[in-house]
Chains A and B, each alone.
Chain A
Amino acid sequence: MRNLDEKALTAKEKKAKLGPDVDISSYGSETVSHDYVENLVSLSESDKARMILAGVDAHEKERSGTFIQKDTAVIHSRSKQEGLEVMSIKEALEKYDWLEEYYWNLVSVETDKYTSLAQLDLQNGYFIRSLPGSKVTNPVQSCLYLAKENLSQNVHNIIIAEEDSELHIITGCATSEHLQRALHVGISEFYVKKNAKLSFTMIHNWSEQVMVRPRSVGRVEEGGLFLNNYICMKPVKSLQMYPTTHLVGKGAVSRFYSLLVGSPGGEIDVGGRVLLEAEETRAEIVSRAITNGGKIIARGDLIGEIPGIKAHLECRGLILNGGNIHAIPELQGNIDGVEMSHEAAVGKIAQEEILYLMSRGLSEDEATSTIVRGFLSVDIPGLPPGLKAEIDRAVEQSDKEVM
């Protein structure tokens, strides 16, 4: 690990390629202790309410496990199902020597100052793993919660779906009601082994002055499926991420769906990148962005390295009340015989659609929100119904705020 520290030190001042630079020294990273919570129902009402929005069910109904970190402290962590492991990353690193092979294996610690920070000043994070052959059909819920004003929350997560297993995760990041300024740095490494299926649905509920810098990379082996859904509809000061997936085994599939809503004064720069490095791999990136006055950059990058791969990128933006959307779809075919395509469209709601709905009896506002909700309601194949319902709920919620 000392080696990692050395590498991290070299990147300590290294600015990220994208997104406004964050002055890390202006945030604190001292340990903020919170008591462990045996029963989530005993959380404060306001914390619970915020966590529910991020997909956390306090009764753990239809959940196979839970991990909650508040500020720097893990306040709840358990697996309810055999074949599923849920623990803090620190605990996991102690428990499993082999985990070092996975730690900082996909994401390079020298990427930028944020990866450096997550190494040099790691607080915690989660480790979630489905054992070979186990089907964990109820989702694991996790939440990284920020309550301490001016904290820099630095976490590292590792998710492993072992061979032939199935794993669904719903993870929320949220801030307490009164929190204003904070920084969240999250490293995530996803391993989808042979014929495994992993769905990862992330719902972010930040607040106006929070800076967010996730760094995540996934690796999918032969016959594996990685569904990555990202939803960010609440205001955030600045969010920049470019999750990347490597499809390294024959027939591996990756889908990245993102739903973004930009608010005045906020800046969202979210992309998805998939490298199709093996035979018969497939990738799809779909993004829907709505701005209500904020700035959104929606990137997408598909890189085809092998003949016969198929990949599609779809990027749609809707400008509601000013603001701007910059769609940057990129395709790189590095060899003959790749099939790659993209669609991108940015615009405002067509008046004709509003009037059509009005002629069926809706008011102008109702018509607009019906169209907005429709715009955000992308069908995500392969999600269990419970997760789909969570996404619908998030969309429903944001819809009220967008209006």
Chain B
Amino acid sequence: MLHIEDLQVKLGDKEILKHIDLEINPGETHILFGPNGSGKTSLLMTIMGYPQYKVTGGKIFFKGEDITHMPVNERAKMGIGMSYQRPPTIHGVRTRQMVEICAKNKVDPEALAAELNCSEFLERDINAGFSGGEIKRSELLQLTAQDSDLLLFDEPESGVDLENIVLIGNTISHLLQRDFKIDPEKTQKERLKERTKMGLIITHTGFILDYLTADKGQVLYNGVLVCASNPREIFRTISKVGYEECIRCAI
């Protein structure tokens, strides 16, 4: 379980997250909404442990452990993984290597890349000249290889063409154990109970909601979590009136 308690975060001198409380139970997936610059990426980066996001108050617990000051790689080892909005280019490090690093050599990069339509750039330097859609697929490829328990997705479907959106939507749904399939051994209800993966997905377009069910929606506005409710409900409101309604809640 991820448990965030009264989290306050500064980036440089700027307060970007204010008194955040958030709880994601095993098997739950949450959707995170919020206007540009509201602090969504910052929240994910803070959960991942990026040191430039300075925690000035509050705590983060994961699987019962206080991870507020734990280094990034230890969080990764505990089972936190992230798909980035804007990952860096690393010259001389190939996408294939990244997959091997993520999977600790436990998967076959080629087969996985074929599944995720990443074969063409497996031998390319990671993120070097990747198109927007390629970045999303490569991030998903790495996350799939990593097999984390808490998956943080920063706008996984932004800028992705229609064909690939199906692929990405279904893959995320699968990673979060939300794909529907008839299992002769187990009822859907039983399968649901066995879900352990946790997800936190940032979306502007809401497209992702067409491919997976989500338990909760959260709205981040100006560094404050102002709303937690049914994700479709929230998305409809935002689609109709924008974030104006959130301002009313924020006040």
Contacts and interface: CB of A to CB of B under 8 A. Distances in A.
Tell whether A and B belong to one assembly: yes
Interface of A: 350, 352-353, 355-364, 367, 370-371, 373-378
Contacts of B71: 358, 364
Interface of B: 48-51, 71-73, 75-77, 81-82, 84, 87-88, 90-93, 97-98, 101-102, 104, 125, 142, 146
A251 B104 CA distance: 47
Nearest to A350: B88
B91 A375 contact: yes
Nearest to A349: B90
A365 to B, nearest CB: 10
B101 A360 contact: yes
A284 B50 CA distance: 39
B101 A361 contact: yes
A361 B104 contact: yes
A134 B45 CA distance: 60
Contacts of B88: 350, 352-353, 356
Contacts of B125: 374
Contact of B76 (A360, A373, A378): A360
Nearest to A361: B76
16 contacts: A350-B88, A352-B88, A355-B72, A356-B87, A356-B90, A357-B93, A358-B71, A359-B48, A359-B76, A360-B76, A360-B101, A360-B102, A361-B101, A361-B102, A374-B92, A375-B92
B98 A360 contact: yes
Contacts of B146: 360-361
B101 A370 contact: yes
- Secondary structure class of chain A's binding surface, majority of residues: helix
A364 B48 CA distance: 15
A44 B49 CA distance: 52
B22 to A, nearest CB: 20
Nearest to B51: A355
A377 B123 CA distance: 13
B159 to A, nearest CB: 20
Contacts of A359: 48-49, 72-73, 75-76, 81-82
Contacts of B75: 359
A90 B187 CA distance: 86
A350 B102 CA distance: 20
A374 B93 contact: yes
A336 B93 CA distance: 39
A373 B90 CA distance: 11
Nearest to B93: A374
Contacts of A374: 90-93, 125
A346 to B, nearest CB: 14
Nearest to A356: B88
Contact of B50 (A350, A355, A375): A355
A364, A370, A376 interface centre (most CB from chain B within 10 Å) = A370
A362 B101 contact: yes
Contacts of B50: 355
B142 A360 contact: yes
B112 to A, nearest CB: 14
A286 to B, nearest CB: 12
B92 A376 contact: yes
A318 to B, nearest CB: 10
Question: 8 nearest interchain CB pairs?
Answer: A374-B92, A374-B93, A358-B73, A358-B72, A377-B92, A361-B76, A352-B88, A360-B102
A374 B102 CA distance: 17
A364 B82 CA distance: 17
Nearest to A363: B73
Given A358-B73, A367-B73, 8 more contacts: A356-B87, A359-B48, A359-B75, A360-B146, A361-B76, A362-B73, A375-B91, A377-B92
Given A356-B84, A358-B73, A361-B146, A373 B101 contact: no
A358 B101 contact: no
B73 A361 contact: yes
A19 B75 CA distance: 49
A374 B95 CA distance: 12
A363 B90 CA distance: 16
Nearest to B50: A355
A360 B104 CA distance: 10
Nearest to A373: B92
B91 A357 contact: no
A377 B93 CA distance: 9
Nearest to A374: B92
A385 to B, nearest CB: 16
B104 to A, nearest CB: 7
Contacts of A364: 71, 73
Nearest to B72: A358
Nearest to A367: B73
A376 B102 CA distance: 22
A171 B191 CA distance: 63
Contacts of A352: 88
A361 to B, nearest CB: 5
Nearest to B77: A361
A375 to B, nearest CB: 5
A370 B97 contact: yes
Contacts of A375: 91-92
B90 A353 contact: yes
Contacts of A358: 71-73, 76
A361 B81 CA distance: 9
B54 to A, nearest CB: 14
